[in-house]
A and B are shown apart, each in its own frame.
Chain A
Amino acid sequence: MALTKRIIPCIDVDVDEDGDAAVYTGVNFEDLEYTGDPVEMAKAYNEAGADEFVFLDITASAEGRETMLDTVEEVADEVFIPLTVGGGIRTRDDIKETLRAGADKVSINTGAIERPDLIAEGAAAFGSQCIVISVDARRRYDEQGEYYEQIDGESVWFECTVKGGREGTGIDVVEWAQEAESRGAGELFVNSIDADGTKEGYDVPVTRAVCDAVSTPVIASSGCGSPEHMAEVFEDAGADAALAASIFHFGEYTIEETKAALDERGIPVRL
């Protein structure tokens, strides 16, 4: 037996009108639908055989952050699989607070792009294994990139974006992934603005470009609509883990069904 590919459910957590933490799931790009209580959902996925659990704080306020840390504590007491927490992490203290609340890893996006030293600071203080760098990649068809892929006969590079893809940074995703790795990132999350919400599959070209360029584990994210898509991103891109939200939250597939389908294709998974 060998190291398995990891299947990771992800929840987006916001505060509801009563000030309690609640999970919301995007439907068709924009609309967010109330999906459930984060602690109950985490417990259910833990029992269903999820290999890890990702918790993204999508609140923007200081009060929201407090609620979120309390929720992370509750989740950590119930869930005995690795827990990654992301959203709004910008300082060494943010990392420390989040780990102390019970996260095993933190996922950092904008905070690392704005101040790349945060990666090395976090890795030195808490170990590389807990620093996950997350990129929101967007396809660009001009000639300003460093690393190009051919997609349907066109030359494409991938740009790191912030603010959910609304703002470009001009930074090449592959170049940034290598830099993040050399600064001490222990894992990379590859999200795709182009694939997000489509349920037509992961962005295989960007995931493969990052996997080929780094030696740290890569987690594919965005676009999953079926276990087939996971198989594709494992086999064709070389991802180490695949993240999904709505297919699990809306009960389209269970973790068991997903893993059984992957196992049938000969992909090593923890059954």
Chain B
Amino acid sequence: MNRSRDVSIAIVDYGLGNLRSVKSGLERADATVAVVDDPGALSTADGVVLPGVGAFAEGMDNAGPYRDAIREVVETGTPLFGICLGMQMLLTGSEESTHAGQGDVEGLDLVPGQNRRFSTEMTVPHMGWNTLSVEREHPLLEGVDGEYAYFVHSYYADPDDDGAAVATTEYGERFASVVSDDSGQVFGTQFHPEKSGETGLRILRNFVELADPTR
């Protein structure tokens, strides 16, 4: 299980957020992890993590210089893992930027769909531990179903294709808490695996496994 592997993971550092736990979580899974702030550094990685906290428009703005590099990574079949806002950025757009009066902000459009705001009856942000119901198989969730994960968000992903929801979670309504594109190589979690205890570490391990070029 703990054999040392030569899997290199790049975490895109486009400004804010605590990247320390994502990095140490991936290192526990025996990956070689680099936090990169240069779009050119993505092409050599076996897997790319798009982290993120904060607002959609700002996130897309900060991630702007990485847009082309991320597309190239996806075209070459390198796994791309979006976390929290990073997952929302995989979609086409978000009500958040419209609400903030920032107009239509273009997401990466790798998983077609919109990010929507929770209904006003719910306490927002949705903050805390909630359960994952796995809807379909995906290697990222190998060995996970029904476990708790840690969420902090006010918007949720609503993919156009129902099949893009790999796992769902209930908060006022049932929303996609893990999404993936058809290829299975572009995926994301609304929750923070690096803050979700053993379940989260398992998901990070699964990701490293999935990115392993010798697999």
Residues of A within 8 A of B (CB): 1-6, 46, 49, 51, 73, 76-77, 80-82, 99-104, 125-130, 186-187, 215-217, 240-241, 270
Contact = CB atoms under 8 A, between A and B. Distances in A.
B200 A129 contact: no
A215 B153 CA distance: 14
A129 B192 CA distance: 13
B45 to A, nearest CB: 22
Contacts of A73: 20
A3 B126 contact: yes
B16 A126 contact: yes
Contacts of A6: 128-129
A127 B53 contact: yes
A2 B21 CA distance: 26
B75 to A, nearest CB: 31
Given A76-B24, A102-B21, 12 more contacts: A1-B170, A2-B171, A6-B129, A73-B20, A80-B25, A80-B194, A80-B196, A82-B152, A102-B18, A102-B20, A217-B125, A217-B127
B24 A77 contact: yes
A102 B130 CA distance: 23
Given A126-B54, A187-B127, A217-B128, A4 B148 contact: yes
A51 B129 contact: yes
Contacts of B195: 80-82, 104
A102 B16 CA distance: 12
Contacts of B24: 76-77
A102 B23 CA distance: 11
Contacts of B128: 3-6, 51, 217, 240-241
Interface in B19-49: 20-21, 24-25
The residue among B20, B130, B195 with the most chain A CB atoms within 10 A of its own CB is B20
Nearest to B125: A129
A6 B172 CA distance: 18
Contact of A4 (B129, B153, B192): B129
A3 B129 contact: yes
The residue among A2, A82, A126, A216 with the most chain B CB atoms within 10 A of its own CB is A82
Contacts of B192: 82
A101 B20 CA distance: 8
B18 A100 contact: yes
A255 to B, nearest CB: 12
Contacts of B198: 80
A127 B155 CA distance: 13
A130 B53 contact: yes
B66 interface: no
A80 B21 contact: yes
B172 to A, nearest CB: 10
B127 A76 contact: no
Contacts of A215: 123-124
A2 to B, nearest CB: 7
15 contacts: A1-B170, A4-B128, A5-B128, A51-B129, A76-B21, A77-B21, A80-B200, A102-B20, A104-B195, A125-B16, A128-B125, A129-B53, A129-B152, A186-B125, A186-B152
Nearest to B124: A215
Interface string B173-215: 0000000000000000000101111101100000000000000
A260 B7 CA distance: 40
Contacts of B146: 1
The residue among B18, B125, B195 with the most chain A CB atoms within 10 A of its own CB is B18
B171 A3 contact: yes
Contacts of B200: 80
